[in-house]
Structure 1
Amino acid sequence: MARPSACHGIGPAAPFARGIPPAHASVRPFCVRPRRVGMHTGSAARGPKPLRQRRVRPRFWLLDFYGSAVGKKAVMAVTGILLLGFVLAHMLGNLHLYEGSEKMNHYGEYLRTIGSPILPHSGALWALRTGLILALVLHIHSAVTLTLMNRQSRPVGYKGGRDYLAANYAARTMRWSGIIIAFYLLFHLSDLTWGTGIAATDEFTRGEPYQNLVASFQREPVAILYIVANVLLGLHIYHGAWSLFQSLGWANPRFNHWRRGFAIVFAAIIVVGNVSFPVAVMTGLVE
Structure 2
Amino acid sequence: MRKAPAPARRRTRSSVGLKIFMAVTGILLVLFLYLHMAGNLKIFFGGTTFDHYAAWLRTIGEPLLPKTWYLYIQRTVLTVAVLGHIAAATILARRAAKARPVKYKHRPKVQGSYAARTMRWGGVIILLFVIFHILDLTTGTLNPVGDKANPYGNVVADFAPHRWYVTLFYALAIVAVGFHLRHGLFSAVRTLGQQSPRGERIARATALVLSLVLVIGYLSVPFAVLTGIVK
TM-score by length of 1: 0.74
* 2:7 corresponds to: none
1:61-83 Cα offsets, whole Å, 9 max, x none, are: xxx79971111111110000000
In the alignment, the residues of structure 2 paired with residue 108 and residue 162 of structure 1 have an alpha-carbon distance, to the nearest angstrom, of: 50
1:256, CA displacement in angstroms? 1.6
* 2:70 corresponds to: 124
Decide whether the 8 Å contact of 2:60 with 2:68 is kept in 1: yes
* 1:106 corresponds to: 52
* 1:260 corresponds to: 204
In the alignment, the residues of structure 1 paired with residue 206 and residue 11 of structure 2 have an alpha-carbon distance, to the nearest angstrom, of: 29
SS at match of 1:260: helix
In the alignment, the residues of structure 2 paired with residue 191 and residue 105 of structure 1 have an alpha-carbon distance, to the nearest angstrom, of: 17
1:175-205 Cα offsets, whole Å, 9 max, x none, are: 1100111011100110000111xx322x110
- Root-mean-square deviation over aligned CA pairs: 1.6
SS at match of 1:68: helix
Q: For 2:218, give the aligned amino acid.
A: N
Which structure 1 residue ranges, 5 or more long, are not aligned? 1-63
Equivalent in 93, 100, 105 of residue 147 of structure 1: 93
Decide whether the 8 Å contact of 1:65 with 1:71 is kept in 2: no
What is the percentage of aligned positions where both structures have the same residue? Answer: 42
In the alignment, the residues of structure 2 paired with residue 135 and residue 68 of structure 1 have an alpha-carbon distance, to the nearest angstrom, of: 18
1:40-79 correspondence to structure 2 within 5 Å: 68-79=14-25
1:1-287 correspondence to structure 2 within 5 Å: 68-154=14-100, 156-159=102-105, 161-164=107-110, 166-196=111-141, 199-201=142-144, 203-218=145-160, 219-287=163-231
Instruction: Judge which range, 267-276 or 146-155, deviates more.
Output: 146-155
Decide whether the 8 Å contact of 2:61 with 2:70 is kept in 1: yes
1:198-217 Cα offsets, whole Å, 9 max, x none, are: x322x110132111111101
Which structure 2 residue ranges, 5 or more long, are not aligned? 1-9
1:237, CA displacement in angstroms? 0.5
Decide whether the 8 Å contact of 2:37 with 2:214 is kept in 1: yes
1:124, CA displacement in angstroms? 1.2
Q: For 1:132, give the aligned amino acid.
A: L
TM-score by length of 2: 0.91
Decide whether the 8 Å contact of 2:194 with 2:200 is kept in 1: no
1:3-47 Cα offsets, whole Å, 9 max, x none, are: xxxxxxxxxxxxxxxxxxxxxxxxxxxxxxxxxxxxxxxxxxxxx
Aligned length: 220
Flag the structure with larger Rg: 1
Higher relative contact order (CA 8 A, sep 6+): 2
Decide whether the 8 Å contact of 2:139 with 2:146 is kept in 1: no
Decide whether the 8 Å contact of 2:60 with 2:70 is kept in 1: yes
In the alignment, the residues of structure 2 paired with residue 119 and residue 128 of structure 1 have an alpha-carbon distance, to the nearest angstrom, of: 13
Decide whether the 8 Å contact of 1:96 with 1:103 is kept in 2: yes
